[in-house]
Amino acid sequence: MARKLWEKNVQVDKKIEDFTVGKDRELDLYLAKFDVLGSMAHITMLEEIGLLEQSELRILLDELKEIYNLIEQGGFVIEDGVEDVHSQVELMLTHKLGDVGKKIHSGRSRNDQVLVDLKLYTRSELKEVVESVEGLFYELITQSERHKKVLMPGYTHLQIAMPSSFGLWFGAYAESLVDDLLFVQAAYRMCNRNPLGSAAGYGSSFPLNRSLTTKLLGFDSMNYNVVYAQMGRGKLERNVSFALASIASTLSKLAYDACLFNSQNFNFIKLPDDCTTGSSIMPHKKNPDVFELIRSKCNKIQGLPQQIMLMINNLPSGYFRDLQLVKEVFIPAFEELLSCIHIATYIIKEMRVNENILEDEKYLSIFSVEEVNRLVSEGIPFRDAYKQVGLAIEEGDFNPSLDLNHTHEGSIGNLCNDKITLLFEKVVNEFNFQQVVDAEQALLKS
């Protein structure tokens, strides 16, 4: 059995080891390539301050690249008896290179190793989330433009209210994603600060060059105060989970609308038969399971910030093992949200809309406000016009014009999709993902 990095002469009881390690080996596989990148930056800095020879740095970098490639190819494993990814990487280096492999841990702790791993992993996942949201956004805008003249009822209190359009409906969710990405951007900026060099949370007596590792890893800046760097564990995951929950909220509402509008009672949209499921007893059923599952998964994601808060909110400063469990709810959330975004993008592209909804007489009264406004335009006071139209509806004598003339920004006749798109693109460009891509590529070529 492999010896722990911290183990002396007493081996830990097997039951205690199993309980304390938990799911770390499984979850650390998500962090593996980022652990390698963090180690490459760290040892480059160690050579710069004289704690490694240039020849030692060269062979360490070469071997770390081999491990990185192994991870990318899916061949990396954390062996039985090895606690975590940090231990596995150091073990592999030591087996291959001997004593020089043991030198990579100078000036750091597993505390700041996992901190930097989580930050590198999280910013990578957030990049993928943003790119996936882009696909959904442009599909919503496309559908909004395609159906901008197709009217549908708007509702308040689930009562028919005023005329709306599919252009407005699709476009509303597109603009909602703009605000969601502002939330993601704030989380990304908090994430993109370097904790490496904080060690166990109190710094090091080695003259570490934290500015160098910050640059090498493409961070915007560092977590300057080493105690705060450690306090950021848990806080990072909580803040990011709030951003993920914001996107999930938009998707959940969209899914609820789609389930409602797909029902025979509404009949506003139709999903392709191959995108629905059936019943084991009712041969006519075509169920919108995709949207139901999106709704439920996204509602679960909206509970993630509360889960994380309950794990971390009564911890004092410093490291505690409680933080290990945050990974178990945090890491899987990205894959779950991404699957919802991808399937929502696909199903929205495939759905069909009913272009003749308002031909049904039951929707006639939604034109009441249009009629009131027409009378006001002719000089009748608003309250008198309101009463006149209301009485006509009550007496069954309401025959409004069905023509609409909405021209102000954001209305049926002026969706402002071009402005919404520009706003979205501005938010996406402000992430500056290229800075990170360039830094990581340069590190792997070093």
Contact 272, 350 (CB under 8 A): yes
The per-residue pLDDT for 431 is: 97
pLDDT average, residue stretch 350-360: 94
Q: How far apart are CA 123 and CA 189, in angstroms?
A: 9
- Judge contact between 345 and 136, C-beta under 8 A: yes
pTM exceeding the 0.75 threshold for the entire prediction: yes
Calpha distance 209→215 (Å, rounded): 10
Q: How far apart are CA 184 and CA 106, in angstroms?
A: 34
Dump pLDDT digits (tens) for 265-274. 999 999 888 8
- pLDDT score of 60: 97
What would the mean pLDDT of 366-374 be, rounded to a whole number? 92
Q: Is the pLDDT of residue 440 over 50?
A: yes
* 59-107 per-position pLDDT tens digit: 999 999 999 999 999 999 999 888 889 999 999 999 999 999 999 999 9
Write phi, then psi, for 268 (nearest 5 degrees): -90, -35
What domains are defined for the chain? 14-108 (1.10.275.10), 111-151+165-358+416-445 (1.20.200.10), 360-415 (no CATH)
Contact 345, 43 (CB under 8 A): no
The rounded distance, in Å, linking the Cα atoms of 195 and 112 is 6
Largest CA distance in the chain: 95
Catalytic residue positions, numbered = 157, 279
